[in-house]
Amino acid sequence: MKQEIKTYYGIADAHGIESFFTEEEMNMTKFPYVLRADLNRQRHAVFYEVELLLPDVEVVKQLIKKGKYQESLQFIKKNLKKLSFPKAQSTDYGKSWKLIPNPDLDPWGNKFEE
């Protein structure tokens, strides 16, 4: 029995998953996601595209809902079927993807949350 694969997009950084959405959701917002990732490269932010099995998508959504952003990124990395980045950023994003999640990479840490 072949399981359905879904494509999701979003931003991930040193703290884990920031966003996780379908292409339709992304197109509805018209938000400049790549620009946001590029402006936050100090935290190794990347704009990603992943393919996951449908049951894995549900696990990611539940982890995000519980505020487990690092765990959701770790789960995605472990279970993805395909990964890609925007062509112009592919090399830099690929290097960062290997390093995240790791909050110690954020040069400001959690200073803004105190």
What are the pLDDT digits (tens) for 50-90? 999 999 999 999 999 999 999 999 999 999 999 999 999 99
Q: For residue 97, is it within any domain?
A: yes
Q: For residue 78, is it within any domain?
A: yes
Structural domains of the chain, count: 1
Residue 49: pLDDT band by 50, 70, 90 thresholds? very high
H/E stretch holding 75: helix 69-79
- Which residues in the chain belong to E strands, given as ranges? 5-13, 16-17, 46-53, 82-84
Residue 30: pLDDT band by 50, 70, 90 thresholds? confident
Q: Which residues pair with 8 in a beta bridge?
A: 50
The whole model's pTM is what? 0.90
Q: Which domain holds residue 67?
A: 5-109
DSSP code at position 43 = G
Distance CA 52, CA 79 (A): 7
Q: For residue 114, is it within any domain?
A: no
Q: For residue 32, is it within any domain?
A: yes
Q: For residue 80, is it within any domain?
A: yes
